[in-house]
Amino acid sequence: EADIYQTPRYLVIGTGKKITLECSQTMGHDKMYWYQQDPGMELHLIHYSYGVNSTEKGDLSSESTVSRIRTEHFPLTLESARPSHTSQYLCASSPRRDQRAPDTQYFGPGTRLTVL
Amino acid sequence: KNQVEQSPQSLIILEGKNCTLQCNYTVSPFSNLRWYKQDTGRGPVSLTIMTFSENTKSNGRYTATLDADTKQSSLHITASQLSDSASYICVVSDRGSTLGRLYFGRGTQLTVWP
């Protein structure tokens, strides 16, 4: 079981609210990722980070923002939530180098977000 | 078009039976292929990983195969159990970036009935 945590696990909020989804890992991994997943669909990368003070946008356009002030922490923020943001958000991390299993990402349990 | 296609989309089998899930990909240049298991409401967990030179890898009752020439992979589950009910996701990594970009299939939803 990977040591990567996400809170909250479930969140139901109204339109226009600001929310922050938390993600923490205790494995000392340099790389961290945020994915969005809708039912029956593939995971889409929305943000990633190579390390502290490094953040990049992923393949899927997202109105969310991220920060990486500490290695273990990679929160995702929505300034003004809309119903179109309703989805499952998965956080993942990977070590800088793992020759036995290159590019393996370890996933958190996810946050199920519903915006009314 | 998704660069990783999985079939079938869903599958129902009886407990104790075997099944095989398929994955076709077009990702290039290829680095490795993983099969992940995702339980409902949980994050994906890696089952197997295969690089270009490997054509089979086992993890308990799970056996993955890879044909890098035809760009196909399969995941065979032996003697299925109720706990095998989950989505199985094929994930391919390319060699073209330092990020180690992953390409995800949409998954096969497996249901095991008693």
DSSP string, B92-113: EEESS-TT--EEE---EEEEEE
Q: Is A111 on the interface with B (CB under 8 A)?
A: no
pLDDT of residue B97: 57
| Rounded-to-integer distance, Cα B106 and Cα B39, Å | 14
Quick one: pLDDT at residue A101?
61
* Residue in the structure block whose two tokens are 């196909």: B72
For the stretch A7-19, pLDDT in tens is: 999 999 999 999 9
Alpha-carbon torsion angle A59, A61, A67, A73, nearest 10: -60
Q: What is the pLDDT, as a whole number, of residue A20?
A: 97
Q: Are A41 and B106 in contact (CB under 8 A)?
A: yes
Residues 6+ apart with CB under 8 A from A67: A55, A74, A75, A77
Coarse DSSP helix, strand, coil percentages of chain A, rounded to the nearest 5 percent: 5, 45, 55
Q: Which of A90, A101, A103 sits opposite B43 (nearest CB)?
A: A90
- Which run of H or E residues covers position B38? strand B30-38
B contact set with A (CB within 8 A): 2, 4, 9, 31-32, 34, 41-46, 49, 51, 89, 93, 99-102, 104-107, 109
Q: What are the start-end ranges of the H helices in A2-116?
A: none
In 3-state terms, what secondary structure has residue A85?
Answer: helix
Instruction: Say if the Cβ atoms of B42 and A109 lie within 8 Å.
Output: yes
For chain A, which ranges sit under pLDDT 50? none
Note the residue count of chain B. Answer: 114
Q: What is the pLDDT of residue A1?
A: 54
CA distance A101 to B69: 22
Instruction: Please name the residue that has the structure tokens 């809309």.
Output: A82
> pLDDT tens digits, chain B, 114 residues: what are they?
679 999 999 999 999 999 999 999 998 888 889 999 999 888 999 999 898 888 999 999 999 999 999 999 999 999 999 999 999 999 998 876 555 678 999 999 999 999
